[in-house]
């Protein structure tokens, strides 16, 4: 237990009997939840953690072999749940963590009561006329090449696009700082796993009730993706947010809290 707690920098706060586990997205860490966690800690037990390779996790535990697919990150989630002997959890995942949480729930559905997905995508790449994910293969190749050649340049390029709230420059800077503080090699490998993953075939295996929170004007996950997920995930609800960008829990915490709270009640 203590190995996992240290490895994934696990924090336990809050007062409630039911547990919410928050899973951060690519290029981020548990601090990205700081604007919405206070709204839940009076009534829920909150679990925060960093995936291995992110935040203040134990970077020495990172291996390319384990984290070359999303399954390594799925195992991080299951390890944290088992170390703390959790059950009937609410898993709130941002971006790629939405799929990580879903895959974990398919493997061990008895651990999960609800899934809440913020800006989720089962597939970021377009596939002819069959599927629109928002990116061409050449877009992802360029992104990965930029990360390799000029990591700081990549961070300053992607942060304003992903945040998409130019009237809040401090938030863009905060995201850029989060990107740049990650290990460049690990970040590139996580990016490759994230943007080249395809979890569409797993959607029909998911049985846990799911809330899909789709931002308006999200440059990373277009509206069609949220609609696709809703059509293909049984027992799911789709909520279109007024929030712009890919990080509503940072840029629009009040709306994010309101939608989650309404769903949980």
Residues in the chain: 265
Question: Tens of pLDDT along 165-206?
Answer: 999 899 999 999 999 999 999 999 999 999 999 999 999 999
pLDDT score recorded for residue 37: 98
pLDDT score recorded for residue 119: 98
pLDDT score recorded for residue 113: 98
CA atoms within 13 A on the CB side of 37: 21
Give the pLDDT band (50/70/90) at residue 2.
confident
Long-range pairs, 144-151, Cβ under 8 A, ≥24: 144/188, 144/191, 144/192, 144/195, 147/184, 147/187, 147/188, 147/191, 148/184, 148/188, 151/180, 151/184, 151/187
Tokens standing for residue 232:
């293909």
Mean pLDDT of 125-150: 95
Give the domains, in start order, of the chain with CATH numbers.
2-264 (3.40.50.1820)
Question: Tens of pLDDT along 32-45?
Answer: 999 999 999 999 99
Question: Tens of pLDDT along 138-158?
Answer: 999 999 999 999 999 999 999
Question: Tens of pLDDT along 238-256?
Answer: 999 999 999 999 999 999 9
Asked if 244 and 216 touch (Cβ cutoff 8 Å), the reply is yes
Question: Tens of pLDDT along 85-115?
Answer: 999 999 999 999 999 999 999 999 999 999 9
Average predicted confidence (pLDDT) for the chain: 96
Asked if 212 and 226 touch (Cβ cutoff 8 Å), the reply is yes
Residues marked as catalytic: 95, 218, 246
């Amino acid at each position: 237990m203590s190995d996992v707690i240290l490895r994934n920098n696990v924090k336990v706060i809050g007062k409630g009997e039911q547990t919410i586990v928050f899973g951060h997205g690519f290029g981020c860490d548990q601090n990205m939840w700081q604007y919405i966690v206070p709204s839940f800690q009076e009534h829920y037990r909150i679990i925060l953690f960093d995936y291995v390779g992110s935040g203040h996790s134990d970077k020495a535990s990172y291996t390319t072999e384990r984290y070359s697919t999303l399954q390594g990150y799925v195992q991080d989630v299951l390890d944290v749940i088992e170390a703390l002997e959790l059950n009937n959890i609410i898993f709130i995942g941002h971006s790629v963590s939405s799929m990580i949480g879903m895959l974990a729930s398919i493997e061990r559905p008895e651990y999960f009561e609800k899934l809440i997905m913020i800006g989720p995508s089962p597939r970021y790449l377009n596939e002819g006329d069959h599927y629109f994910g928002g990116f061409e293969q050449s877009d992802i190749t360029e992104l990965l090449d930029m990360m390799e050649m000029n990591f700081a340049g990549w961070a300053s390029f992607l942060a304003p696009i992903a945040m998409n709230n130019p009237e809040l420059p401090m938030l863009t800077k905060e995201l850029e700082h989060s990107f740049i503080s990650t290990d460049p090699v690990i970040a590139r490998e996580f990016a490759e796993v994230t943007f080249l993953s395809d979890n569409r075939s797993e959607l029909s295996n998911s049985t846990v009730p799911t809330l899909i929170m789709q931002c308006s004007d999200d440059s990373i996950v277009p509206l069609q993706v949220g609609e696709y997920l809703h059509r293909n995930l049984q027992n799911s609800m789709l909520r279109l947010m007024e929030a712009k960008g890919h990080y509503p829990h940072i840029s629009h915490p009040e709306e994010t809290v309101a939608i989650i709270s309404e769903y949980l009640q």
